[in-house]
Amino acid sequence: MLIKISKSNQLNENSVTDENIYHSRRKAIKQMGFMGAGALLASSFSNQAQAGFFDDEPETFKTTKLNFTSDNNKELIKTPEKKIISHNNFYEFGTNKTDPQEKAQQFNTNPWQLTLSGECDNPHTLDYDDLTKAFPLEERIYRMRCVEAWSMVIPWIGFPLASLIKKAAPNSKAKYVAFETLYDPKQMPGQASRRVGGGVKYPYVEGLRIDEAMNPLTLMSVGLYGKTLPPQNGAPIRLVVPWKYGFKSIKSIVGIKFLTHQPPTTWNILAPKEYGFYANVNPEVSHPRWSQASERRITTGGLFARNRIATLPFNGYGEEVASLYKNLNLKNHF
Ligand code: MTE
């Protein structure tokens, strides 16, 4: 399928080929002997396959499809759901990639309260039901790049953070937005033990400049693959900032505060020489332990998995966000 998308944020179910469909489609085309000249055929085959596949998908959320034009020339392959929910960083539940899925299943996310406060005219609190009902939900298929040099392609469900911010009506003094994860050592073993929690100071905190927070790409996610977020991915609500390293995308958020000054952030507190406030994906600025020039895209592997790929500046979202940093030296402000 040859599809062109006008903007890289406008990837949706229609513009991204599911991995299973991709493989079965390639196989079918190959069997028919059309591998070289099969673009047109591939397109119609894929459309049929996608329609059937997604009819079978359980839909917990009512999602709003994004507008796109269908002339993209690259195929993004979604990371399978089972990988997205079993290879996680959520240190509140342990530092191994499998710990969050193993240890977070009893995590109670209802009732939940998310409070907006600080420099704003309408401080308010959202309850659990509000998280999925207060704003129209959208599906956004984003690349997710971890500073550890692995990446995924994830179909998030959520709403723009800008919608929530507009409702809170920040005043002219609000220059930054601070985020805070739940602090509940009884539920989160990593908060109860420094050893389990990797020495991180809890609660986990993050921050954005207000113009970054208002960017249309910045998402509050309440689900993935058409269903509510599993606890290991940050239920019931998390941030997704696709042009920044994954550690900015703070999970299980209870507080959002508008500030005059730049807030402290968890990884910067722990190792300021390794993790900056901005954390924009940048192949030219390497982390002391991980070159950022390339990344391992997590797929099912196999014949078609060319999974070592070059890292793109701003994780491929430069068109939408590079202008935010035109006056900033990105090597100093990593
Ligand atoms: N948020 C909290 N509260 N605690 C964490 O340990 N890890 C971060 C981020 N958000 C983390 C967090 C890191 S390092 C990454 S790469 C992403 O979550 C991983 O998200 P995922 O597990 O859904 O892939």
C-alpha span between 214 and 229 (Å, rounded): 23
Residue range of the domain that includes 86: 10-325
**Residue 310 φ/ψ, nearest 5 degrees:** -70, 140
Give pLDDT tens digits for 236-245.
999 999 999 9
C-alpha span between 242 and 158 (Å, rounded): 13
Contact 159, 137 (CB under 8 A): yes
Ligand 1 atom showing the smallest separation from residue 148 Cα: 16
Tell how far the Cα of 90 is from the centroid of ligand 1, in angstroms.
5
Among 86, 183, 249, the mutation site with the greatest number of ligand 1 atoms within 8 A of its Cβ is 249
Tokens, residue 263: 């807030």
Judge whether 140 lies within some domain: yes
Tell how far the Cα of 250 is from the centroid of ligand 1, in angstroms.
6
Judge whether 123 lies within some domain: yes
- The answer to which of 95-109, 277-291, 299-313 has the lowest mean pLDDT is 299-313
- The answer to which of 67-71, 312-316, 321-325 has the lowest mean pLDDT is 67-71
Q: Is the pLDDT of residue 254 over 90?
A: yes
Judge whether 17 lies within some domain: yes
Tokens, residue 123: 């401080």
Which segments within 12-136 are labelled E, that is strand? Answer: 63-64, 113-118, 124-127
Pocket flag, ligand 1, residue 212 (CB < 6 Å): no
* Per-residue confidence (pLDDT) for residue 248, from 0 to 100: 98
CA-to-CA dists, residue 171 to 159, 164, 201, 262, angstroms: 22, 14, 30, 16
> Atom 8 (ligand 1): residue with closest C-alpha?
247
Judge whether 266 lies within some domain: yes
Contact 245, 221 (CB under 8 A): no
> Atom 6 (ligand 1): residue with closest C-alpha?
90
Torsion of Cα atoms, 158 then 163 then 168 then 174, to 10°: 100
C-alpha span between 191 and 163 (Å, rounded): 31
When the pLDDT of each residue in the chain is averaged and rounded to a whole number, the result is: 81
Q: Would you say how long the chain is, in residues?
A: 334
Among 247, 292, 298, the mutation site with the greatest number of ligand 1 atoms within 8 A of its Cβ is 247
Judge whether 330 lies within some domain: no
In CATH, what number is assigned to the domain containing residue 62?
A: 3.90.420.10
Domain count within the chain: 1
Contact 125, 114 (CB under 8 A): yes
Tell how far the Cα of 321 is from the centroid of ligand 1, in angstroms.
22
Judge whether 2 lies within some domain: no
Pocket flag, ligand 1, residue 218 (CB < 6 Å): no
Q: Which of 180, 177, 163 is nearest to 255 (CA)?
A: 180
Pocket flag, ligand 1, residue 89 (CB < 6 Å): yes
- 3-class secondary-structure state, position 209: strand
Torsion of Cα atoms, 266 then 272 then 277 then 280, to 10°: -110
- The answer to which of 100-109, 240-249, 262-271 has the lowest mean pLDDT is 100-109
Pocket flag, ligand 1, residue 233 (CB < 6 Å): yes
Judge whether 3 lies within some domain: no
Cβ within 8 Å of residue 284, ≥6 positions away:
292, 293, 313, 331
> Atom 4 (ligand 1): residue with closest C-alpha?
90
Judge whether 332 lies within some domain: no
Pocket flag, ligand 1, residue 247 (CB < 6 Å): yes
Partner residues linked to 143 by β-bridges: 153
In the predicted model, what is the mean pLDDT of residues 140-159? 93
